[in-house]
A and B are shown apart, each in its own frame.
Chain A
Amino acid sequence: MSALFGRSRSVLSRLVGALVVVLGVVTLTFFLARVVSPDPTNLYVSPQADQATRDQVRAMMGLDKPVLEQYVTYLGQLVRGDLGTSFSTGQPVRDDLLSRLPATLELATYSLIIGTLVGVVVGIVGAVRRGGILDHTGRFVTVAGLALPQFFVGLMLLWIFFVVLGIAPGPVGRLPVGLVDPPQTTGFVVIDALLSGQWAVAGAALQQLALPLITLAFAIFAPIARTVRTAMLEALDADYVRTATAMGLPQRTIHYRYALKNVLLPVLTMLAGVIGFAFSGAVLVEGVFAWPGIGQYALDAIQQSDFAAIQGFVLYAAVLYVVVYLLLDLLYARVDPRVRL
């Protein structure tokens, strides 16, 4: 997406571009949802209902008007910050999203930190020890992470640790059934529980978190590790590394400052994509573990032809990606002196 904005244009034109992208995505989703989704009225009236009842429900849902008129109405709402009302929850979509955001943020933040750290270390070690046993092991695990679908990894983990070994809790969300959420300060259950001194709740929350965290972190680790390894290998073969070696700089300096700073550039780009993916609710991971986050909400919305909810999710994801890539461009210019904004 960075290419879409170009690296040389001003911040203002980037912002305009970003707005256009978001509007385009919203528009596309609006019409696509209405074309491909089954008629939502069928989900909300009983199959025996007569035509009059159906029409009444359609009118209530605002689906009786021409599609273009619905679209204009929707845009009008958006401008006022109103994302519409969910058919299935009956709540404003904005409130729904906000209430589900903490679950996604908690899972995504931990997974991003762990997945990125492990990915960077494995990538660097693999490149520095090219062809060694550590490199081969790292590459094997990386390929597995790239090739295996996330829901499959999640289900396998559940099967092994929940079903067979019985050491992990089942996929019932952020807390086991019967436990009450700690008072909300950060929205991260583990931290909130610790803050209020509820050690048992914190422990239970950590256990619930373990498997989805590993699944998502694994999905994040793999592309990062591959990017780091490739970029590091390229850097180690670069002329400037040969110069630094010939000039007698210590190997530590060469690997971890001279090469690594060049590696940072491709890794930042990859990281932006991964951040977008994780914070938009890693739909499949949340689905497998019944994690009550944004991704789960989107999954439900799609199944129920919940138009406003689908659009709300896509809008959130689009804004998220656009913001992340804008930040990426700014960061990129800070790391690479050849790039000017």
Chain B
Amino acid sequence: MSVALAEGNLLDVVDYRGGFRGPDGEVTEVLAGVSFGLRRSTLTAVVGETGSGKSLTALSVLGVQPRGFVRTGGRMLFDGEDLFAGGPRSFERVRGNRISLVFQDARAALNPVFTVGHQLIDVCRAHRRLGRKEAEQVVLDMLERVRIPDPLRRMRQYPHEFSGGMAQRVMLAMALVSEPELLVLDEPTTGLDVTIQADIMDLLVELISSSGLTACLITHDLGVVAQTCQDVVVMRSGTVREIATCEELFTAPRDEYTRDLLAASRLVEAR
């Protein structure tokens, strides 16, 4: 399918292809031409079954694909500039600075042998010219914004001392502390308790809408999509099957796979 490059999108993924090199040297394509755009200050959901290429696409936005992944084509236009055209440097310029990524398993994504405060301050100071004390204050404020109780004590703790939900808040703080323009969230609540999932989603939506961020939320949860997102991208087997506004998607899905997806979720029963 084709997508028009809408003027003024913050990110446009254009016909992005790639795969993994097998033992025979052949590249098995797992992303077979992914194209979608993220409108500025909009929350876009990317949905699709496991293995459809959502995470790979998200990681590619920052150039942190797993070892062995080979890009075979496509462009990644961030604010009009093709990140692939500029070589590794252009990714380094945007990483954590203009684009931040929140990973799925936050506890595993944090470094086990440094305190949470240490890691947050490192990220903060990598992007903002701040002294140690100032950075500490910025981090402290950020931890308060993601509603971590007793942040001063928490900063001195190690990742293993955090619950999954608390660790995800730390990840969020880390992603936001550099004041990025684009926030990519890869299944940020998967694996958490249901009540905690809801808390984190509420927090996310509030942070995103209050700061005018552009965000891309990868999720399984169509309920969350219906409540929070403006645009939806439906992916399957490394391709985009449908792009629609949230309202269109839930009222008049065009793609057959989208209809299956909706039918499989509990949302349809409620309808």
Contact = CB atoms under 8 A, between A and B. Distances in A.
Chains A and B form a bound pair: yes
Interface of A: 237, 239-240, 242-250, 253, 258, 261-262, 265, 335-338
B111 A249 contact: no
Contacts of B105: 239
B219 interface: no
A245 B59 CA distance: 11
Contacts of A250: 126
A255 B95 CA distance: 17
Contact of B160 (A242, A247, A249, A337): A337
Interface residues of B, number: 32
A338 B178 contact: no
B189 interface: no
B47 interface: no
A334 B115 CA distance: 13
B114 A258 contact: yes
A335 B114 CA distance: 9
Contacts, number: 79
B67 interface: yes
A243 B109 contact: yes
30 contacts: A237-B67, A240-B112, A242-B59, A243-B103, A243-B110, A243-B111, A243-B171, A244-B119, A244-B122, A245-B64, A246-B62, A246-B64, A246-B100, A247-B101, A247-B123, A247-B178, A248-B97, A248-B127, A248-B178, A249-B122, A249-B126, A250-B126, A253-B122, A258-B114, A261-B111, A261-B114, A262-B113, A335-B113, A336-B113, A337-B158
B174 A258 contact: no
B96 interface: yes
B92 interface: yes
A133 B179 CA distance: 41
A246 B95 contact: yes
Contacts of A248: 92, 94-97, 123, 126-127, 178
B252 interface: no
Contact of A338 (B96, B112, B114, B115): B112
Given A245-B95, A250-B126, A258 B67 contact: no
A262 B92 CA distance: 24
Nearest to A242: B64
Contacts of B62: 245-246
Contacts of B103: 239, 242-243, 246
A294 B3 CA distance: 78
A245 to B, nearest CB: 5
A247 B174 contact: yes
A253 B125 CA distance: 12
